[in-house]
C-alpha cells in the first residue's frame, strides 16, 4: 500500500475563475486511488478523470480517510465519493453513477496460515481485519463473522495482518493483487462479489450525477475502462 505524505491532497479540475460543480473524496487504496510522487493516481482516479472530461463536469478531488470521505459524501451538498461498493445498507443513502467495476472480494492471509480452515464459515470464525466505514463491515456481519477488527485505513489493517494481529484481511480484487505481489501475503478465498460506483449525496445536483453516470457507462462500454485498469497490472 502507498503511504500518504500529506493528510489530504486537493486536486482541482476547475478553473480559477469558476467554482467546481462538485467535490469528490477518495481514499489511499492502491491501485484504485493513491498518491505517488505527490500526484493522485490509480485506475479509479483515471476513470473518474475521463468521466469528468466526457461529461463536462468540473470537480475538486481530495484524498482522506475512508470513514471521513463517505461521511462527507453522505452529508454535504454536491459531494461524492469513489470507489464505493453499492450495498443494501447504502442503497438509499446515496445517488449513484456507474458502475465503474465489478470485482471479487477476497480474504487474504500470510502464506501458509490458517491451515485448519476449509470453508468461508470457518474463516469467518477467526479475526478478520477491515477499516472503519468500509462496506466490508456490513458484508462480514451479513456473512456471520464473529470477530471483526477495525482500523483507520487499509494500510494499518495490512500491517496488522503482517504482524499476526488478525488472521485475515478483506481486500478487493485489484488491491489483493497488489498485496500479494511480493509474496508477503496470499489470497485465501473469495467471499463475495460486488459492483463499485461513484456515490453522491442526496443533495448533489441530479444533472451532474446523470452526466457522470452516462460518461462512466460510455467508458465501460467502449473498452476505455478495461484499458485504464490494465495500465496498473
N- to C-terminal Cα separation, the chain? 15
Mean pLDDT of 200-222: 98
Please tell me whether residues 186 and 199 are part of one structural domain: no
Torsion of CA 30, 79, 140, 178, to 10 degrees: -10
b/e sequence 134-151, b meaning 16+ C-beta within 10 Å: bbbbebbeeeebeebbeb
How far apart are the C-alpha atoms of 205 and 208, rounded to whole Å? 5
In a domain? residue 15: yes
Residue 44 domain-assigned (yes or no): yes
Q: Are residues 115 and 73 in the same domain?
A: no
Same structural domain, 159 and 86? no
Residue 9 pLDDT: 42
| 216/172 same-domain check | no
Q: Which pLDDT belongs to residue 10? A: 44
Taking only the tens place, the pLDDT of each residue in 91-142 is: 999 999 999 999 999 999 999 999 999 999 999 999 999 999 999 999 999 9
Contact by Cβ (8 Å): 109, 128: no
Residue of 214, 226, 199, 202 whose CA lies nearest to 86: 199
pLDDT digits 0-9 by tens, 28-69: 999 999 999 999 999 999 999 999 999 999 999 999 999 999
Q: Domain count of the chain?
A: 2
4 within a domain of the structure (yes/no): no
- The pLDDT-based confidence of 19 (bands split at 50, 70, 90) is confident
CATH of the domain at 35: 3.40.190.10
161 and 177 part of one domain: yes
Q: Is residue 70 part of a domain?
A: yes
Residue 31 lies in a domain: yes
> In this structure, is residue 2 part of a structural domain?
no
* Average per-residue pLDDT for the chain: 93
Q: State which residues form the domain around 26.
A: 10-102+195-230
C-alpha cell at 209: 450525477
The pTM score is 0.86
Amino acid at each position: 500500500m502507498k503511504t500518504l505524505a500529506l493528510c489530504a491532497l486537493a486536486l482541482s479540475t476547475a478553473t480559477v475563475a469558476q467554482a467546481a460543480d462538485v467535490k469528490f473524496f477518495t481514499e489511499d487504496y492502491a491501485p484504485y486511488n493513491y498518491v505517488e510522487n505527490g500526484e493522485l493516481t490509480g485506475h479509479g482516479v483515471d476513470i473518474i478523470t475521463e468521466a469528468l472530461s466526457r461529461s463536462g463536469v468540473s470537480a475538486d478531488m481530495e484524498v482522506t480517510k475512508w470513514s471521513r470521505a463517505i461521511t462527507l459524501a453522505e452529508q454535504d451538498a454536491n459531494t461524492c465519493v469513489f470507489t464505493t461498493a453499492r450495498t443494501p445498507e447504502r442503497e438509499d443513502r446515496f445517488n449513484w453513477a456507474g458502475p465503474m467495476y465489478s470485482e471479487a472480494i477476497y480474504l487474504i492471509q500470510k502464506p501458509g496460515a490458517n491451515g485448519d480452515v476449509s470453508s468461508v464459515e470457518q474463516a469467518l470464525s477467526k479475526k478478520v481485519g477491515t477499516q472503519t466505514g468500509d462496506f466490508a463491515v456490513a458484508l462480514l456481519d451479513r456473512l456471520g463473522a464473529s470477530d471483526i477488527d477495525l482500523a483507520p485505513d487499509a494500510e494499518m489493517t495490512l500491517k496488522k495482518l503482517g504482524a499476526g494481529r488478525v488472521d485475515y484481511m478483506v481486500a478487493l480484487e485489484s488491491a489483493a493483487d497488489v498485496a500479494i505481489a511480493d509474496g508477503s501475503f496470499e489470497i485465501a478465498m473469495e467471499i463475495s462479489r460486488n459492483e463499485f460506483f461513484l456515490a453522491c449525496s442526496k443533495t448533489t445536483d441530479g444533472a451532474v450525477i446523470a452526466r457522470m453516470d452516462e460518461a462512466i457507462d460510455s467508458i465501460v462500454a467502449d473498452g476505455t475502462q478495461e484499458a485504464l485498469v490494465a495500465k496498473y497490472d
